[in-house]
Each structure stands twice: as structure tokens, then as C-alpha cells.
Amino acid sequence: MSEPLTLRTVCRLLAAIAIAFAAATLAPAPAKAQQVILLVNGDPITNFDIEQRAKLIQLSTNKAPSRQAVIDELIDEKLKIQQLLRYGIENMDNDVNVAFGNMARRMRMTAAQFADQLAKSGVGLGTLKSRIKAEITWTQIIRGRYQSAFQFSEKDILAKMEAKGDKSLIGYDYTMRPILFVLPKQTPESVAARKKEAEALRAKFQGCEEGLALVRGLRDVAIRNKVVRSSADLPPSLREILEKTEMGKLTAPEVTAQGVEVYALCDKQPSGTDNAPGRREVREQMATEQFQMLSKRYLAELRSQAMIEYKDKK
């Protein structure tokens, strides 16, 4: 469970920033003097740090934060990163670069192009990377420090599901064979024709063994390798389609970039309660809620023990 939670936590905090940068048109900001405003356990936060973080927050939220809100975020960030040495966490730079690269790819940019966009928006590369580093570090620390707190009993999970009115205790493993009606050049007429062929196949398709043999005799139709998917890993829309599809039958045609595609449902086996969609969602929700609670509590503890010294309150 730790890896999915790590990815979701970091992505939720940073995805909005990536989207905002794609539309940002701010002019580059001039360099500011590195005036120290406060120290957090001896680590400085400068006026430039505050101005940079304010820009980052405004880009990600479309709201201008108060100066104190920016300072509070930077204090928390310092406290999180300071835990690197305490817990001996290494190779963070590589993790940060990977996360930064993933953000760039989601925006259909290279890392260099994304860094250039940051500069044009008046935000230094180090400002965003520092935030990424703090969140990755903090997620690892909370999950490592309170590892046992993320072990939920079956009773707790079922009680949570009952409270939500969720009775989906059984998951399935679906074995499917994608069938593609190839369509190199798509026009409304050609798409309609291929969809008609696909519907005709659906009417004739009687089981995977006999049906796939029939498909092999069709022109410009490809049978792809079988895929096995757990219902817990499928989006609700696709899960609903497969639940309504009879064994040995085809799903409704869908238009893709390559042509018109249908799926032959060749096998459906119970995968047990551990992979039930509702159960997994509840378990992940409980882990997220636990993480947020423990994170808030431990951060408050670190703040109470920290030496925070203001040099300039302007």
C-alpha cells in the first residue's frame, strides 16, 4: 500500500502546479537580495524564498497567499527536509528528478522545457524541486515511522464499507482478447462501416474458441494478445461494461486511434475479497486519512521542538 499512497500524495499536491504552469505567462522576475527573514533550527529562509514560494502557490491555486501563510509553508518544508539526516534517507535527488520529469511528461514537455517554463514564470527550478523533495521525504518518513498504523484489520475495513453502504465484497479477474477492426484512415463513413462489421461479429460470436477462429477469417481484423485485469484495477465505467457482458461474448464497439475495437470476454474468475473494488477503495481511503492525521500530529510535534528565530518580520 505504501507506494500507491506515496504517488497519490505527491501527485495531488503537485499536479495542480503542473497544470498552472502550462498556462502561465508571467514575465521573469528580477533577482532579489538574499535577506534572511528567519531561521528554522539554523536553516535560513530568505525574503527571496518567500517571494518565490508565493509565486508558486499563486500559480497552483490562482490565489495570492498571505505572507504568513507562505512563511508557515516554508517552515514546515524546512522541518520535513531536516528529517533526511535524522532518518538517513539517501538518493533523494534522483527521486526528485524522476518526479520532476514525470510532471514535465504530463505536460508533454521535456524536463529542460519545463525548467524553461518555470523560469519564464518567474519561479526558480529549485523552488519547485524543494517542494517535491519535502513531500516525497515526508511521505516516506510518516509511513516508516508509523508503519503499524497502516495495517488495518478485516473488521475495520468491513465496518467502513458498511458505513458507506458498499457491499462490493467480491472482485473478479477478467481474461479478455482485444479484437481490432483496423482503420488506417478514419472518415465518418469508414468508421460507421467498420462499426457495422463489429456489430455483425457480436451477433455471431459464440464463445472465445469458436469466435476467435471466425475472426481469423476476417479481412483487416487483428486479434491481440490476451489481457487479464482485476476489477479493482479498472475504472468504474469499464468495470460496469464487463459486469454486463456475458461470458464468451463481445463488448460494444469503441473507436480508437487504430480503428474500431471490441473485447472478447473469455474468462471471469472471482479474485477474492482482497481485490474487491469497494474493499480496495476503502482500504486506500483509510490509509490516506491515517496518513493525514499522523502527518499533522508529527509536524506539530516538530514545530513545538523547533528553534524558529525571526530576523526580520517585514
Sign for the pseudo-dihedral over CA of 265, 269, 270, 276 = negative
Listed by start position, the domains of the chain span 2-152+287-310, 171-272
Task: Specify whether the CB–CB gap between 12 and 123 falls below 8 A.
Answer: no
Q: List, for residues 242-285, the tens digit of each pLDDT value.
A: 888 999 999 999 998 889 999 999 998 877 655 566 677 777 88
**Choices 3.40.50.300, 3.40.1130.10, 3.10.50.40, 3.40.50.720: CATH for 171-272:** 3.10.50.40
Burial class (CB in 10 A: 0-12, 13-18, 19+), 227: exposed
Neighbouring residues of 123: CB distance < 8 A, sequence distance ≥ 6: 52, 55, 56, 59
- pLDDT (tens place) for every residue of the chain, 314 residues total: 333 344 444 444 454 444 444 433 333 444 445 799 999 999 999 999 999 999 999 888 889 999 999 999 999 999 999 998 888 887 788 899 999 999 888 888 889 998 898 888 888 899 999 999 999 999 999 999 998 888 887 777 777 766 766 555 567 889 999 999 999 888 999 999 999 999 999 999 999 999 999 999 999 999 999 999 887 777 777 878 888 899 999 999 999 888 999 999 999 887 765 556 667 777 788 889 999 999 999 999 999 999 999 986 55
* 297 conformational bin, left if phi > 0, alpha if psi -120 to 50, beta if neither: alpha
Give the pLDDT score at 274. 59
pTM equals 0.58
With respect to CATH, is domain 2-152+287-310 assigned 1.10.3720.10?
no
The partner residues of 30 in beta bridges, in order of sequence, read none
Task: Specify whether the CB–CB gap between 215 and 201 falls below 8 A.
Answer: yes
Task: Specify whether the CB–CB gap between 211 and 260 falls below 8 A.
Answer: no
Give the pLDDT score at 242. 86
Give the pLDDT score at 167. 54
Per-residue cell: 267: 474468462
Task: Specify whether the CB–CB gap between 286 and 307 falls below 8 A.
Answer: no
How many angstroms separate the CA atoms of 142 and 61, rounded?
A: 26
How many angstroms separate the CA atoms of 20 and 17, rounded?
A: 5
How many angstroms separate the CA atoms of 111 and 313, rounded?
A: 36
Element (H, E) at 294: helix 277-305
Start-end of H helices in 46-187: 47-61, 67-87, 92-106, 111-120, 125-145, 154-164
